[in-house]
Structures are given as structure tokens and as C-alpha cells.
Chains A and B, each alone.
Chain A
């Protein structure tokens, strides 16, 4: 079987198994969460269960993509205690699933479209995901602070949209302002290898390896003297420098802002 035919076959396999898995998981998770809620009547626990279910679902989807896509998670600071704000580069629609590799209770900061997709939109709402484009910055910091106070980590893709390439776009500052407002560490997360898994505008997954690396945290003591712009620029450069070092690409000519 040629490489191309094998890729087509593995895509067919993924696009058969993943929807089936989604339906089965969705039914079972819905039954479990609602039964639990009927017994406990605890909305906060329901939200936590949904977040945990989404994490399990995400990991399952990553399993479904094997052996087409092989994913590795590297944690450079496994003893770091949550909560914190995770900020990752954003290359592909698979990034949301890769967040499930983090062994944490976590909510994601999401754009407009996930909240408008049927089923997913409801889950996003009940899980307490932060719809940053549909709320004021004050509401974002208030809700984010509450989640962090409950021990829940907040994960964001500060580029706001997928780059579809190895380029990192300019960062938005909301997540960094949330970290500074609450004093929690900022954890850079570098995602390498998935820019064509799938490519923008196509469902066809290209084979390859994805490496997700949790880089050392920037603690409150580290960012105390920085304003939000300096912090986001610093984190962006940390991720970019790391990715350039592991992907062996020439330094980007399109560096945005900040120090060289």
C-alpha cells in the first residue's frame, strides 16, 4: 500500500471511529452527569464532571487518531501545583483536543464559533468555558478569577485564531491580564507538528507526530515588574524560541513587538 493510500485509509478509519466514539461517549457521559446531578443537585460538581468528561473525550479522540497521528506530551515542571493560566500557540483545530493531555481540571477560553455549534455550545456553557469574544473584559476577569479560585486552570490560545502554519500570530492580552489580576503563574505551552492535522479548510489529516510541551512557568515573582504587554510578548517569544529550537527553522522575520 502506498503512503498516500495508507493515509487515505487511516483517515477513513479515523472519520469512522471518531464520530461513533463521540456518539457513544456523549450518550454515556450525559447519562452519568445527569444521574449524578439528580442525586447531588450540585451545579458546581456538575460543571466539574462535564469538564472532566470533556478531558476524557479529548483524550479518546487523540486515541482514535492513532497511528495516523502520534502525540507526545512533555512536562518540564510536573510538580507545579495548579491553578495557573496556560497559554498555547494555535496552529490547528486539533489544539482544543490536545489540551486534554494536561492532567488538570481545566476550562478553555473559546472564540465565538464553538459556543454556536449545536451540542458543543451547550457543553461550553455548562462547563463554564470562557467565551472571551462575547463578554466584557471585566466579566472575563471576574469569571476567570472565580474559576482559578476554585482550583480550575484556565487555558487560552492568545492568537485568537489558527495560524495554519508554523508562524505565531500576535497575542491578545486577556489571559495575561487575568493571571496578573489573580497572581497565578503563566504556563507557556508549545504545540509542535500539528499545523496540517488537519490543514485549514480541510478535514483530511496528514500523518505525523505532535509534541506538546509544557514549558517552565512564569510565576508572579517573575512577572511582577512587567505590564500585560511585556508579559504577553515575553511568553510569545518563549514559545517561539522553543518551537524554533525543536523544529530547526530559521528565526521568524515577522516578530511582533517586544524585545529582539
Chain B
């Protein structure tokens, strides 16, 4: 999966699971402030991300630092790189 495909797949999760307009899914969009997710929605988001990308991120401390969509893209790219090395 290329970076562009990964970004597209993350955006698909937001559009499909939360019905958020795609034009709002810009890299700088804040997940809490701009997209309107709350801490409980994050649990659903993590579940959807885990299912879509077949990864386990629930217990990863780095998830707590994610604020924007760009942070999420970068995090998942990092996870993918780590998986490829392993």
C-alpha cells in the first residue's frame, strides 16, 4: 500500500464510519475540534482502524499524541514501516 493509498483508506474510515464529508478530511483537520469526534468516538475509530489495517494500536502510547489527520497518517505509515521491517 502506497502512502497515498493509505491516506485514502484512512479517509474512507472517517467517511464510512462517521459519515464525515470528504472535503473536511484535510491533513490539518483536528480530529476532536474540526471533525467533532469525542473520546468515546475515538474508541470506535481505533476499532475501525484496527479492522481496516489489520493492526493492533489500542495499547500503543503513541496513539495518545495524535491530534490531526496528518498525525494519524504519519502514525499509520510508521506502523506499516515497522511491520515491513519485522
Residues of chain A in range 216-248 having any CB-CB distance to chain B below 8 Å: 227-230, 232-233, 236
- Give chain A nearest CB distance to B73 CB in angstroms: 18
Taking the complex as formed, is A157 at the interface, i.e. its CB lies under 8 A from any CB of chain B? Answer: no
Segment from A1-9, A18-26, A166-174 that makes contact with B: A166-174
- Give chain A nearest CB distance to B37 CB in angstroms: 7
- Give chain A nearest CB distance to B22 CB in angstroms: 11
Taking the complex as formed, is B19 at the interface, i.e. its CB lies under 8 A from any CB of chain A? Answer: yes
- The answer for the CA separation of A253 and B21 in the assembled complex, in Å, is 14
B53 to chain A: which residues have CB within 8 Å? Answer: none
- The answer for the CA separation of A259 and B33 in the assembled complex, in Å, is 16
Contact of B40 with A137 in the complex, beta carbons under 8 Å: yes
What mask results when residues 7 to 24 of chain B are scored 1 for a CB within 8 Å of chain A, else 0?
Answer: 000000000011111001
Kindly report which residue of chain B lies nearest to residue A236, judged by CB atoms: B36
Which bucket holds chain B's interface residue count?
10 to 19
- The answer for the CA separation of A173 and B41 in the assembled complex, in Å, is 8
Contact of A230 with B36 in the complex, beta carbons under 8 Å: no
Which bucket holds chain A's interface residue count?
10 to 19
A232 to chain B: which residues have CB within 8 Å? Answer: 36
- The answer for the CA separation of A222 and B34 in the assembled complex, in Å, is 26
Instruction: From known contacts A257-B20, A258-B19, A260-B21, infer whether A170 and B40 are also in contact, taking CB-CB under 8 Å.
Output: no
| Interface SS majority for chain B | loop
Instruction: From known contacts A170-B33, A171-B36, infer whether A258 and B20 are also in contact, taking CB-CB under 8 Å.
Output: yes
- The answer for the CA separation of A258 and B40 in the assembled complex, in Å, is 16
B40 to chain A: which residues have CB within 8 Å? Answer: 137, 172-174, 177, 228
A31 to chain B: which residues have CB within 8 Å? Answer: none
- Give chain B nearest CB distance to A172 CB in angstroms: 5
Taking the complex as formed, is A74 at the interface, i.e. its CB lies under 8 A from any CB of chain B? Answer: no
B24 to chain A: which residues have CB within 8 Å? Answer: 257
Taking the complex as formed, is A256 at the interface, i.e. its CB lies under 8 A from any CB of chain B? Answer: yes
B37 to chain A: which residues have CB within 8 Å? Answer: 229, 257
A256 to chain B: which residues have CB within 8 Å? Answer: 33-36
Instruction: From known contacts A170-B36, A170-B38, A174-B40, infer whether A230 and B18 are also in contact, taking CB-CB under 8 Å.
Output: yes
- Give chain A nearest CB distance to B31 CB in angstroms: 10
Contact of A172 with B18 in the complex, beta carbons under 8 Å: no
Report A's interface with B, CB cutoff 8 A: 137, 170-174, 177, 227-230, 232-233, 236, 256-260
23 residue pairs bridging A and B, Cβ less than 8 Å apart: A170-B32, A170-B36, A170-B38, A171-B36, A174-B40, A227-B17, A227-B18, A228-B41, A228-B44, A229-B17, A229-B18, A229-B36, A229-B37, A230-B18, A230-B19, A257-B18, A257-B24, A257-B36, A257-B37, A258-B19, A258-B20, A259-B19, A259-B21
- What 7 pairs across the A-B complex have the smallest Cβ distances? A257-B36, A256-B36, A170-B36, A172-B38, A229-B18, A173-B40, A257-B35
